[in-house]
Structure 1
């Protein structure tokens, strides 16, 4: 049985250079998604979101393998981040951030399957907020991305360079939410060695 792995199927999207920004075209992809607000370091809502997404993702994996004979690797945690003022990211004003946490899903996963997985997780684990999980389709199109190695709190200089140097120099404007892909497990990885893809959808000015 072949096992789908989004990091292998879309290698260019999950293994960018850490030295230079690159422009990639991101195809339409779907995700488990849950929304929230506030500082991810202190918000109970953020902790609850992660405690909900992973059980639903693994429930879907098991159903897909059993019912469809199609297995997949549960993808890395991803996040869409937004704020009324984009400088809130470079200033790290985390209390003002809105977010949507994501886990990629193969194209054959359906809304009905997600609803069954949510019901299964609620029944077995009693996870609060499971009903907030939904299947989200993203079509980000042209994006600029780079691999950040280091603490999440050290992203600001790279984002400043993207927003205030690279994008103006290439006559690009924002065209969607700031997108991060967490390739490392922060529970097992030293902050200085964390690997995070920083991605920004753009459009020509």
Structure 2
């Protein structure tokens, strides 16, 4: 049975250079769950768990149809309800109380995953695991379009410098940031040393 690995077939979306670069991200299928607050607290962990439960439920259904895939990397969109995410020429989320952070964590699905796969996986997971949060997971087609992205190496708390490089690049190119700050988590924080963690930082532009 052939196994789909989106990090390989969509390599440009899951690799990045240490200096900002432009790319265009085409439409894809994502499962998502929203939330608000400190990502180090339990509600964030519970929602990520609900998302992975859904992803593996879909994977198992696809395997029954002789289509298997590697569950893709966790991604997150981050924002607040005003313009403070961008401050003094850099993005500085650490200056904003984490209780105000809004986010949507998501996982990209192969193109052959359908709404039927999704609904069946959710129904089975709710019946088996009794997780009310599963009802907050959605599936949608999402097109990010023109973006700037860069690789951040190190702990999440030190992202401000890398985001500053991205902001400077956006200005130098005569572009304007639009949409929500996007992160793709290539490293598992439970296993990787903080100084070696790799995170793709992405910003839609126009």
Residue 136 of structure 1 deviates from its aligned partner by 2.1
Contact 2:118/2:139, CA 8 A, preserved across alignment: yes
1:17 has 2:17 as partner = yes
Kept in 1: contact 2:150–2:166 (CA 8 A): no
Q: What is the CA–CA distance in structure 1 between the aligned matches of 2:165 and 2:24, rounded to whole Å? A: 21
Q: What is the distance in 1 between the residues matched to 2:6 and 2:179?
A: 21
Q: Could you say which residue in structure 2 is the equivalent of 1:159?
A: 163
- Offset at residue 8 of structure 1 (A): 0.5
- Per the alignment, residue 92 of structure 2 pairs with 90
- List per-residue Cα deviations over 1:149-190 (Å, max 9, x = no partner): 100111011112322x11111111122111100011111111
How well do the aligned residues superpose, as a CA RMSD in angstroms?
Answer: 1.3
Report the alpha carbon displacement of residue 65 of structure 1 after superposing the two structures with TM. 1.0
How does the TM-score come out when normalised to structure 2?
0.92
Aligned: 1:184 with 2:159: no
2:202 counterpart SS class:
strand
Identify the residue that residue 198 of structure 1 maps to in structure 2. 201
Cα distance in 1 between the residues matched to 2:52 and 2:175: 35
Q: Distance in 1 between matches of 2:189 and 2:140?
A: 25
- Offset, 1:95: 2.2
1:29-62 alpha-carbon deviations (Å, 9 max, x no partner): 11110001111012x3211111101111011001
Contact 1:60-1:113 within 8 A present in 2 as well? yes
| Residue of structure 2 aligned with 1:119, choices 109, 123, 130 | 123
Task: Give the structure 2 partner of residue 53 of structure 1.
Answer: 51
Counterparts of 1:187 and 1:115, CA distance in 2: 31
Provide the aligned length of Structure 1 versus Structure 2.
199
Identify the range of structure 1 (114-123 vs 79-88) with the bigger mean alpha-carbon deviation: 79-88
Contact 1:6 1:75 in 2 (8 A): yes
Q: Which runs of 4+ in 1 moved over 6 A?
A: none
Match of 1:73 in 2: 70
Normalised to the residue count of structure 1, the TM-score between the two structures is: 0.93
Please give the per-residue CA displacement for 1:65-105, whole angstroms capped at 9, x wherever unaligned.
10x21111000110011122223751412222111100110
Structure 1 residue 201: Cα displacement:
0.8
Q: Which runs of 5+ in 1 are unaligned?
A: none
Q: How does 1:122-161 map to 2 (within 5 A)?
A: 122-161=126-165
Whether 2:103 is the aligned partner of 1:105: answer no
